[in-house]
A and B are shown apart, each in its own frame.
Chain A
Amino acid sequence: APTKKTDESIHITSNQMEAMDKEGKVVFKGNVVAKKGGLTIYSDVLTVYYQSKKGTKGKDRRALKRLIAKGNVRIIQGNKTAKGKIAIYDKDTEVIQLSGNAQVWQGKNTVKGNKITFYINEDKSIVESAPGKKVEAVVFSGEQ
């Protein structure tokens, strides 16, 4: 499927932000809301990992590498909502992995599994079950 170019800037609000330059990370705590284009992630804690790159004019620029959301994680994209304990977003692959009683809804349809992987640019997701368990899906016929 063609890769859809999404709005790349990210807005994050939280009760508290802790930047640790030496470790190349910023930790947001308390009512964290992170928005990127049409995607919104809610969580208790969000850690942003970045790497320093040389930008234009040789100035130091921070390039986002990864986001890890923990605690009451909710992800909303369009009419899809997902819930879990931990979500890991990888910038390069534009993929989010949600785990910990992961569940996703689209309208009334819902799917539960051990891990759900969202391919943001391809509008595709894969649900995996824990070993020895099954994925659980509830689909309403005629549901838009």
Chain B
Amino acid sequence: MNKKKAIIWLSSICVLALGIANLFRFNHDELEFPRPKIYADAKMSGIFYQKIKKNQLIMKLRADEAILLKKDKRLTARHLTLSVLKDGTQLAKLRSLKGELDLDTMDALFLDDVRLETKNNGVLFTQKLRYIPSSELLTTDVPVIIQKGGLKVTGKALSYNLKTGKMLIKESKTFIESQ
């Protein structure tokens, strides 16, 4: 008699377990793959942001769409344009498909189809470019192409000081057009 009772108990527990498992079967994503969720503090579109310092406009940022992550103090954006100005002159204008802005340091990272135009008619193309406002430096460790007034340069990495105008390119190939 006991044996019978034990079997009945066992089977009912199995049925119960199956039932519970079925319950969770539809959102197994939560159960099996708990992906980290990015809690956006704010999602914006059609952004226009200006930074003024000592009554001087030093930066303008436009973006189709941006997500503010307060905890990380970060702003991620899509289709953005950043202009850097000094004493009313535009030092550089940068465009890319994706970008990230560190709201503490204002360091910016530009990704995908990055295009930089400098005040002396130089144009730079790359897929990744970092802008460090504290030292007015632009750097990248991926290939770049630069075109400027009859000069074309390709290289594997670059650092460009907007203040001094000094540009350093690794493994460069330069083509100087005939004049």
Contacts and interface: CB of A to CB of B under 8 A. Distances in A.
Interface of A: 7-22, 26, 28, 48, 52-53, 55, 59-64, 91
B151 A17 contact: no
Contacts of A18: 166-169
Contacts of A11: 173-176
Contacts, number: 85
A64 B165 contact: no
B166 to A, nearest CB: 5
| Max count, chain A CB within 10 A of own CB: residue among B167, B174, B177 | B174
Contact of B178 (A8, A22, A59): A8
B32 interface: no
A12 B170 contact: no
Contacts of B177: 8-9
Contact of B149 (A10, A16, A26, A61): A61
Contact of A60 (B120, B174, B178): B120
Contact of A10 (B120, B165, B175): B175
A62 B148 contact: yes
B86 to A, nearest CB: 15
Contacts of B179: 8, 53, 61, 63-64, 91
Contact of A12 (B120, B150, B176): B176
A94 to B, nearest CB: 13
B124 to A, nearest CB: 11
Nearest to A15: B171
Nearest to B164: A22
Nearest to A8: B178
B143 interface: no
B149 A9 contact: no
Contacts of A12: 172-176
A20 B175 contact: no
A59 B149 contact: yes
B176 A64 contact: yes
A144 to B, nearest CB: 33
A20 B150 contact: no
B149 A55 contact: yes
B176 A9 contact: yes
B149 A13 contact: no
Contacts of A10: 174-176
23 contacts: A8-B177, A8-B178, A9-B176, A10-B175, A12-B172, A12-B174, A13-B173, A13-B174, A14-B172, A14-B174, A15-B170, A15-B172, A17-B153, A17-B167, A17-B174, A18-B167, A20-B165, A21-B167, A61-B179, A62-B148, A64-B176, A64-B179, A91-B179
